Amino acid sequence: VIRCRAAVAWAPGKPLSVEEVEVAPPKAGEVRIKLVATGICRTDEHLLQGCFPNAEFPVIPGHEGAGIVESIGEGVTSMKPGDKVMPLCIPQCGECSFCQNPESNFCQKSHISEPQNLLPDKSSRFSCKGKQIHHFLWVSTFAEYTVVPEYAVAKIDAAAPLDKVCLFGCGFSTGYGAAINTAKVKPGSTCAVFGLGGVGLSVVMGCKAAGASRIIAVDINKDKFAKAKELGATDCINPRDLKKPIQEVLTEMTGQGVDYSFEAIGREDTMIAALASCNMSTGVCVMIGVLDSGSKISIDPMLLLTGRTWKGTSLGGWKTRECIPKLVSGYLEKKFNSDLLITHTLPFAKVNEGFELLRAGK
Q: Check binding of 85 to ligand NAD (CB under 6 A).
A: no
Q: How many residues does the chain have?
A: 362
Q: What is the SS3 string spanning 193-260?
A: EECCCHHHHHHHHHHHHCCCCEEEEECCCHHHHHHHHHHCCCEEECHHHCCCCHHHHHHHHHCCCECE
Q: Does 264 bind ligand NAD (CB under 6 A)?
A: yes
Tell me the one-letter amino acid at 144: E
Paired sense of beta strands 309-312 and 284-287, if any: parallel
Contacts (CB under 6 A) with ligand NAD, residues 268-287: 270
Among 58, 62, 200, 354, binds ligand NAD (CB under 6 A): 200
Distance CA 138, CA 115 (A): 9
Task: Give 3 or 362: the residue with its C-beta nearer to ligand NAD.
Answer: 362
> Please, which residue, 146 or 189, has the CB nearer to Zn ion?
146
Query: Does the footprint of ligand NAD cover residue 111 (CB under 6 A)?
Result: no
Nearest to 195 by CA among 77, 288, 317: 288
Shortest Å, Cβ 75 to Zn ion? 29
Site residues for Zn ion per CB under 5 A? 41, 43, 170
Selected range binding ligand NAD among 18-26, 65-73, 307-315, 340-348, rule: CB under 6 A: 307-315
* 46 is a contact residue toward ligand NAD (CB under 6 A): yes
Which residue, 35 or 170, is less far from Zn ion as judged by CB? 170
Residue pair 181/158 in contact by the 8 Å Cβ criterion = no
> Could you tell me which of 17, 67, 9 has the C-alpha nearest to residue 37?
67
* CA nearest neighbour of 337 among 164, 180, 219, 195: 164
What does 42 bind: ligand NAD, Zn ion, none (CB cut-off 5 to 8 Å by kind)?
ligand NAD
Residue 110 interacts with ligand NAD (CB under 6 A): yes or no: no
User: Which residues 65-84 are close enough to bind ligand NAD by CB under 6 A?
Assistant: none
Give yes or no for a contact between 315 and 90, defined as CB atoms under 8 angstroms apart: yes
Among ligand NAD, Zn ion, none, partner that 289 touches (CB below 5 to 8 angstroms by kind)? ligand NAD
The entry of ligand NAD, Zn ion, none near residue 212 (CB within 5 to 8 angstroms by kind) is none
**Min separation Cβ 199 and Zn ion, Å:** 8
* CB of residue 273 to ligand NAD, shortest distance in Å: 8
With binding defined as CB under 6 A, does residue 229 bind ligand NAD? no
Q: Beta strands of the chain (E only): which ranges?
A: 2-8, 17-23, 30-38, 65-72, 84-87, 126-128, 131-133, 145-149, 153-155, 190-194, 214-218, 235-237, 260-263, 284-287, 309-312
Residue 197 binds ligand NAD (CB under 6 A)? yes
Q: Which is nearer to ligand NAD, 53 or 211 (CB)?
A: 53
CA 320/CA 323 separation, integer angstroms: 5
150/219 with CB nearer ligand NAD: 219
Is 44 one of the binding residues for ligand NAD (CB under 6 A)?
Answer: no
Instruction: Please identify, among the stretches 146-154, 213-221, 302-310, 349-357, the one whose residues bind ligand NAD according to the rule CB under 6 A.
Output: 213-221
Nearer to ligand NAD, 223 or 322 (CB): 223
Determine contact, residues 157/66, Cβ cutoff 8 Å: no
Angstrom distances, CA of residue 144 to CA of 9, 223, 249, 281: 15, 33, 47, 50
Residues lying near ligand NAD in the complex (CB under 6 A) = 41-43, 46, 170-171, 174, 194-200, 218-221, 224, 239, 264-267, 270, 288-290, 313-315, 358, 361
